[in-house]
Structure 1
Amino acid sequence: MPRFVEVSQVLLFTLFAGLSPTVWAQEPILLDEVVARVNEEIITLTDLKQELRRLRSSLRQENESPELLEQAFQREKRYLLKTMIQNKMLVQRAEEFGIPDSVEPDVGKILEEMREESGIPSMEVLDQYLRQQGSSLEEYRGSLKQRLIIDAFLQQSVYSKLTLLTPEIEAYYQENIERYTETAEVELQEILFLKEGADEAQLHKKAQEVLSQLQTGASFEDLAKRFSDGPTAAQGGGIGSFKRGSMAAPIEEVAFQLEEGAVSGIINTEYGLQIIKVVSQVPAREMPLEEVRSEISNRLYQRKAQPGMKKFIDEMIESTYIYVTPKYREEYDVTDF
């Protein structure tokens, strides 16, 4: 059986039931456009637009800049139709094994857990929230069920045939120990004296006077409120926690040399003079293997599964009737079909 057929005409849904003879004589009513066909099932333009909305909404959470959002959207959009076709193909095959029925209880359980964790009082309110995001509870349920069906099917067909030995996990852990090392972190307060518009000599004199008061036991918080030009002066100069590698070099060099509770000298930076206090410290820590074993196992299973997954999908494509309307072939990357 051919994998796809190049058909020039656009397939239409036509509404027949209840039409008068006059209406029957009119042009067909275009209710939706067929984008692709997978065996006996179709992907409509409405389906595609729904997934495009979902994609944009998902990317919006990761990209604050409109420009970056649009770039990411255009990049991911190219492969969206391919993913939709593959998903429909996988769900169809999963139905032969009765998998959709087996995941149904999990769908309700996950939705209920999501509602409770989000503090949403009812499913009706959850539906309202999802509609505000351009979706609905029905759409979300359908998407979740599809994901669970596909995961269960691939687990049964691909992942269950893989073996992963303890020495493999241990070797990966040792070879990638940097990945599983938590960076040292410090929580800081600052007193900042901005250089802009200030006389350099007077600025140094002011900073030295404040430092002298700190060295004789004055409250850092009180002096920050009185003298700091920083944005958190009113709160006592607290500027939060920073991991090694995330601060300006002059500040970081001093911050990680100080003990907890210690106050620095005057630090000369690009924007001004700073005095910092280390409120708390979290030293670098190698995460124990047992803490990351599950994450490593998943990573190695994914790596091992790739060759078998590709072979499995390719074989399914060969035995599946797939048609993509020509104009969508031009817009989306569907070269595999």
Structure 2
Amino acid sequence: MRIKNTVFLSLAVLVLSSISSFAQESDIQVVDEVIAQVNESVITLSQVKKEMKTVIESMVQEGKSREEATAMTENKRGQIIASLITEELLVQKGKEIGVENRVNVSVNQQLLQMMKRFNLDSLDKLYEAMRSQGVDPEDFRDYRRRQVTKELVWRSQVDERLYWDITSKEIKSYYAANKKKFTKPATVTISEIFLSFAGRDKAEVKKKAAEIVARARKGESFENLAVENSDRPNVSETKGKAGTFNVPDIDPQFAEPIKNLKVGEVSDPIEMEVGMEIIRIDKRTKGTNESHFDERAVRSAILFEKGPDARKKYMKKLQDDAYIKVRKSYQALVMPFLNPDSENKTTASK
């Protein structure tokens, strides 16, 4: 990574309108401090503050006090800046490999799902509803574009390549050494109703979840209850159906409450950080101890083990090939997270 170690001159960007939601109360012109340069783009102080504000609001929704959330987020400032830099590198890579059309299709599909969920017949009405909740539609689209772009880059440049680069010899060797992983596990098919805490009184959401469970146990249609109440964006299509899962792979947070439920029974409300979950058991199948060879399953298991390191190496190469210049006053804060294996070393620009 080519990181400039000289004094970072007072590079600034003149912003002619309000920078973001945290500065909407002022219509004066603002000179925005540049924190880092990433190839031809920059990471600005307003971006960092905006990201920190989002993190704080998320923590508050999860139940933390605003003071606690603010203090915790401030301690993560360097990590947040490093994340913005790595995100920018991935977004730039996405543009380079031409994923824009796929990104736009994905974002548009999500917006259509939101329109259906809220029974809105136009994009303008959806945007109006967003604004009424304090959400800028363009900010939302940009956020989703960046998230989808990152995922497509990871998938196409790392995961898919690693998946198909695994040799037949590796597959056979891995299977032979890990046969217990490839027994046929017990499975469970479930439907679910998710109630989000976001923007709501937590106690009221819990009360509503308990009422829905009571109604379901009295015989009301779980599908109708899901469509009427679930906050999943595609619930009108799924009717609450969540799919089939291998029992050993289920998160303990959900596995424990449903382990003794029979087909047709409904769980007590399960509290998560972001909301309440209600689960109905639709089907169960028993597992066996007999190993079963499935090439796709073996490839996926190898990918699961090797994937994190492969992504880390790919990210390091992106950084090494990039021109990244961090403002000198921020280097000590950012570098341990941006390049943790380098012991905070910097090199002169090539």
TM-score after normalising by structure 2: 0.52
Aligned residue for 2:322, secondary structure, equals coil
Contact 1:35/1:42, CA 8 A, preserved across alignment = yes
Whether the 8 Å CA contact 1:103–1:148 is kept in 2: the answer is: yes
The residue type paired with residue 116 of structure 2 is E
Tell me the residue number matched to 1:325: 327
- Which whole-Å CA distance do the structure 2 matches of 1:137 and 1:287 have between them? 47
CA distance in 1, matches of 2:74, 2:285: 39
Post-superposition offset of 1:37: 0.6
Question: Which moved further from structure 2: 317-326 or 64-73?
Answer: 64-73
Return 136-145 or 146-155, whichever deviates more: 146-155
Q: Distance in 1 between matches of 2:58 and 2:158?
A: 28
Paired with 1:327 and 1:284, the residues of 2 have a C-alpha distance of 58
CA separation of 1:47 and 1:94: change in aligned 2, threshold 3 A: same
Are residues 45 and 295 of structure 1, via their aligned partners in 2, closer, same or farther at CA, if it must alter by over 3 Å? farther
Counterpart-to-counterpart distance in 2, 1:123 and 1:309: 36
String of CA shifts for 1:60-85, please: whole Å, max 9, x gaps: 33x21316644653465442111110
Partner of 1:153: 153
Question: In the superposition, relative to structure 1, how do residues 141 and 299 fare at CA in structure 2: closer, same or farther (>3 Å)?
Answer: farther
TM-fit CA distance, 1:317: 0.7
Structure 2 counterpart of 1:106:
106
Bigger relative contact order, structure 1 or 2 (CA pairs below 8 A, ≥6 apart): 2
Which residue of the partner structure matches residue 307 of structure 1?
309
Q: Percent identity?
A: 19
Give the alignment of 1:9-24 within 5 angstroms: 9-13=9-13
Q: Report the 3-state secondary structure (helix = DSSP H, G, I; strand = E; otherwise coil) of the residue aligned with 1:64.
A: coil
CA drift at 1:48: 1.7
| 2: CA distance, partners of 1:297 / 1:121 | 44
| Paired position in structure 1 for 2:63 | 64
2: CA distance, partners of 1:315 / 1:334: 16
| Count of aligned pairs between the two proteins | 235
Cα 1:74–1:31 change in 2 (3 A) is closer
Residue 149 of structure 1: CA displacement? 1.5
> Where does the alignment leave 5 or more consecutive residues of structure 2 unmatched?
17-28, 190-206, 218-253, 261-279, 289-295, 340-345
For the residue of structure 2 that corresponds to 1:57, the secondary structure is helix
Contact 1:36 1:44 in 2 (8 A): yes
Taking a change above 3 Å as real, the CA distance of residues 55 and 162 of structure 1, as seen in their structure-2 partners, is same
Contact 1:6 1:323 in 2 (8 A): no
1:45 aligns with 2:45: yes
C-alpha distance 46-297 of structure 1, shift in aligned 2 (>3 A): farther
Cα-to-partner distance string for 1:172-227 (whole Å, 9 max, x where unaligned)? 4759x69x779xxxxxxxxxxxxxxxxxxxxxxxxxxxxxxxxxxxxxxxxxxxxx
Cα displacement (A) at 1:86:
0.6
Distance 1:36 1:117, change over 3 A: same
CA contact (8 A) 2:14 2:32 kept: no
Distance 1:286 1:145 in 2: 39
Deviations 1:93-138 (A, max 9, x none): 2222212233222221121112322444543343344345543110
Moved more, 30-39 or 94-103: 94-103
| CA shift in 2, pair 1:288/1:100, >3 Å | farther
Would you say the 8 A contact 1:12–1:30 is kept in 2? no
Is the CA contact (8 Å cut-off) linking 2:5 and 2:328 kept in structure 1? no
**Structure 1 residues 245 and 47 mapped into 2: Cα distance closer, same or farther (>3 Å)?**
closer
Letter in 2 for 1:44: T
SS at match of 1:158: helix
Structure 1 contact 37–322 (Cα < 8 Å) conserved: yes
1:170-189 to 2 correspondences below 5 Å:
171-172=180-181
d(CA) in 2 for partners of 1:137, 1:59: 22
Q: Name the CA distance, whole Å, in 2 between partners of 1:93 and 1:134.
A: 31
Any unmatched runs of 5+ in structure 1? 17-28, 183-230, 247-255, 257-280
Secondary structure (helix, strand or coil) at the match of 1:9 reads: coil
Instruction: Tell which deviates more after alignment, 124-133 or 112-121.
Output: 124-133
CA distance in 1, matches of 2:114, 2:2: 43
Map 1:1-337 onto structure 2 (within 5 A): 2-13=2-13, 31-61=31-61, 63-66=62-65, 69-70=69-70, 73-74=73-74, 77-163=77-163, 171-172=180-181, 301-332=303-334, 334-336=337-339
Moved more, 313-322 or 127-136: 127-136
- Cα separation, 2, equivalents of 1:47 and 1:316: 21
Contact 2:107 2:145 in 1 (8 A): yes
Q: Which has the larger radius of gyration?
A: 1
